[in-house]
Amino acid sequence: MKKKSGGNLPGVKKKKKKKKKKKKKKKKKKKKKKKKKKKKKKKKKKKKKKKKKKKEEEEEEEEEEEEEEEEEKKKKKKKKKKKKKKNLGARTSLGCCKCYMFKSGYHPSLSNSGLQAPVSQVVCFSSIKCLAEMQPGV
């Protein structure tokens, strides 16, 4: 009788199983490689996002600092202007009522002497004659 050549022999079955197992292992390796690649891509994306966030935060901080500096400069300018006004007020006191008649903004007798004061703060000094008194028609 002829022997059947087929899968009934135990050695043959083992060989087939080994081949299948090898194929499965190869598939698993490929899957692992794909997973590793995906993880690397995700890490890179996260790093890029972090870098972008850091850059944006730094830019925002720089802009805020610039705005604060500008506000401080504005405050300093305002303070300086106020000080100048205070100095003028301290130098002069309200005096002759006739001096208010001048509408030019500065009293001419004071401007000739080198001082400049607004008409509302002019004082008629004894050494400088008030032009309002000298010219009654004005």
pLDDT at residue number 98 = 45
The candidate with the shortest Cα–Cα distance to 109, out of 98, 95, 125, 97, is 125
Q: What percent of the chain has pLDDT over 90?
A: 22
The DSSP bridge partners found for residue 106 are 118
- pLDDT per residue over 33-55, tens digit each? 888 888 899 999 999 999 999 99
* Secondary structure of residue 122 in the 3-state scheme: coil
pLDDT for 137 beyond 60? no
What distance in Å separates the CA atoms of residue 66 and residue 59, rounded to the nearest whole number?
11
- Could you give the C-alpha distances from 39 to 22, 28, 42, 50, 71, in angstroms and in order? 26, 16, 5, 16, 48
Q: What percent of the chain has pLDDT over 70?
A: 36
What distance in Å separates the CA atoms of residue 69 and residue 93, rounded to the nearest whole number?
37
Q: Answer yes or no: are the C-beta atoms of 120 and 100 closer than 8 Å.
A: yes
More confidently predicted of 42 and 6: 42
Determine if the pTM surpasses 0.85: no
pLDDT at residue number 77 = 82
pLDDT at residue number 18 = 61
